[in-house]
Amino acid sequence: MTESRIAAAFARAAGEGRAAFIGYLTAGDPAAGGTVALARSLDRAGVDILEVGVPFSDPIADGAVLQRAAARSLAAGTTLDAVWRLAREIRRESRTALVLFSYVNPLLRRGLERSATEARAAGFDGVLLTDLPPEEAGEIQPTLRAAGLDTVFLVSPTSSAARMKSAARMSSGFLYVVSRTGTTGARDSLPETLRATVARARRAASDARLPIAVGFGISTPDAARAAARFADGVVIGSALVGAAERAGPAAFGRLSRRLASACRRSVLRDPLRKS
């Protein structure tokens, strides 16, 4: 079986001694051409995987920054067809792995099988449905996998061992660890319990040998650097969308490069060791 583009991205990052840099953009924000330009900037910075968010009218898991991005995108008329067009344009320019980040409803409204087929044809490599728990994915996950898409599920600090194992069994590509409970959004620091949460997720995913990515609340290079020490991938969304919103493309590019650099694991030298 051919290795997926997502699996290859994690393998390449691990081989280079770093965590995979996973960025997020809301499709259609700022405008269709703006999304492609930001994706291009992330590609130049060295992003390994790009999550492309489908704007939704009731984004219950999103914080204020991503809610505003979704509202702007919907006001501009972004539809699933527009998301497919954006993905095709990004794919023409880049080999970056693409993950469709969506709530379940937009895909079900269109028809799940049709959505999966069209997503794959547009260039997506995987799907993350943020409001789909593993126990309710029995008919949905096989349809996505049949279309050739990896399926990524979420676990959180409050997930039981059984819930983590269920999510890991349903996942391919990677298992996504939510760093904290609540909505997305930039935070000043990582929770002290995150390392233990990642360790529990790694045990749950050991049979499938899934990489573990951490997201929700990672907003600075220091936080990304800390997460990269024990996770296989680091997901940054609100900080990137917020930088584009507040300060424009140049600031977005600078932050992207700093985050990519932060995902490189540096070997800590023993101060007593002679060079």
160 is a domain residue: yes
Hey, which bits of the chain come out as E strands? 20-26, 49-53, 97-102, 126-129, 150-152, 154-155, 175-178, 212-215, 233-236
The enclosing domain of 96 has a CATH number of 3.20.20.70
pLDDT at 268: 38
Q: Which structural domain, as residue segments, surrounds residue 153?
A: 5-262
pLDDT at 262: 96
Q: Would you call the peptide bond into 30 cis, given omega within 30 degrees of 0 as the criterion?
A: yes
Q: How far apart are CA 33 and CA 22, in angstroms?
A: 21
- Asked whether the predicted pLDDT for residue 129 surpasses 60, the reply is yes
268 is a domain residue: no
Characterise 178 by phi-psi region: left (phi > 0), alpha (psi -120 to 50), beta (else): beta
pLDDT at 161: 95
> CB of 112 within 8 A of CB of 138?
no
Number of domains observed in the structure of the chain: 1
> CB of 168 within 8 A of CB of 203?
no
275 is a domain residue: no
| Position 73, amino acid | S
Tokens of 167: 């999510």
269 is a domain residue: no
Of 16, 29, 48, 51, the catalytic one is: 51
Active site residue 62: yes
Question: Mean pLDDT in the chain?
Answer: 91
pLDDT at 188: 58
16 is a domain residue: yes
Global pTM reads 0.92
203 is a domain residue: yes
In tens, the pLDDT along 209-257 reads 999 999 988 989 999 999 999 999 999 999 999 999 998 899 999 999 9
Of 16, 29, 43, 62, the catalytic one is: 62
Which of the two residues, 32 and 119, has the higher pLDDT score? 119
Lowest-confidence pick of 97-101, 166-170, 219-223: 219-223
267 is a domain residue: no
89 is a domain residue: yes
